[in-house]
Amino acid sequence: MKSLPFSELIRKQTSVFPLLADSDVTLERRDAENVVLIRDERYQAMDGALRIAARSLALVAKANRQMAEEVFAEELPWLTWLPAEHRTEAVRELLDDLVAGADTGFYLPFQRNLVAWKHTAQIYTDPALVRELSGPFERTNHGEIGRPKAAE
């Protein structure tokens, strides 16, 4: 994967597109997400392989959910930071999202959930933060809020 400033594509298209013969190109943007250029052949190969792998895991999950969860958890060593009951919940949710992604080709929910669970696991590495976020919470600073008055 090669990285170039997005402006390079705008200024010198003829120098960017030949790079795609050997690798994918990340166009780095300052004010938005980066953009990846990839030849269709490589994209189709990657997408096809991902779908086959996810569907294969889905078939294993249907036949033996316990084994699928164990295999899946092996790929995510940070799961050990979660308490056991949350670890099981995380693996089930992530596996369900991956199976749904294999069926639809839409993996963004899986990715978002993966990031959320990973951040949750990182929180569990700090006992003080876990205590603070687990409550009990002070109710003295919270009061009732009245309904807003209608605009006149």
Please answer whether residues 46 and 57 qualify as being in contact, where contact means their C-beta atoms are separated by less than 8 angstroms: no
pLDDT tens digits, one per residue of 52-96: 888 888 788 778 878 877 887 888 999 999 998 898 899 889 988
CB neighbour burial string for 8-35, b if at least 16 within 10 angstroms, e if fewer: bbeeeeeebeeeeeeebbbbeeeeeeee
The tens digit of pLDDT for each residue in 92-145 reads 899 889 888 888 888 899 999 999 999 999 999 999 988 888 878 777 666 777
If asked whether residues 93 and 79 sit together in one domain, one would say yes
| Bridge partners, 37 (sequence order) | 25
Q: Per the structure, how many domains does the chain have?
A: 2
Of 41, 5, 47, residue with least CA distance to 23: 41
**pTM as predicted:** 0.67
Coil, strand or helix at 3: strand
The verdict on 79 and 93 lying in the same domain is yes
Question: Per-residue pLDDT tens for 6-47?
Answer: 888 888 878 888 888 888 999 899 889 999 999 999 999 988
Q: Coil, strand or helix: which one is 81?
A: helix
Residue 150 lies in a domain: no
Whether the link from the prior residue into 136 is cis, omega within 30° of 0, is yes
Q: Give a yes or no: residue 144 inside a domain.
A: no
Is there a domain that residue 9 lies in? yes
Q: State whether 61 and 22 are in the same domain.
A: no
Distances (CA, A) of 107 to 3, 99, 110: 24, 9, 5
Same domain, 58 and 88: yes
Domain presence at residue 20: yes
Say what the pLDDT of residue 142 is: 65
Between 151 and 152, residue with greater pLDDT: 151
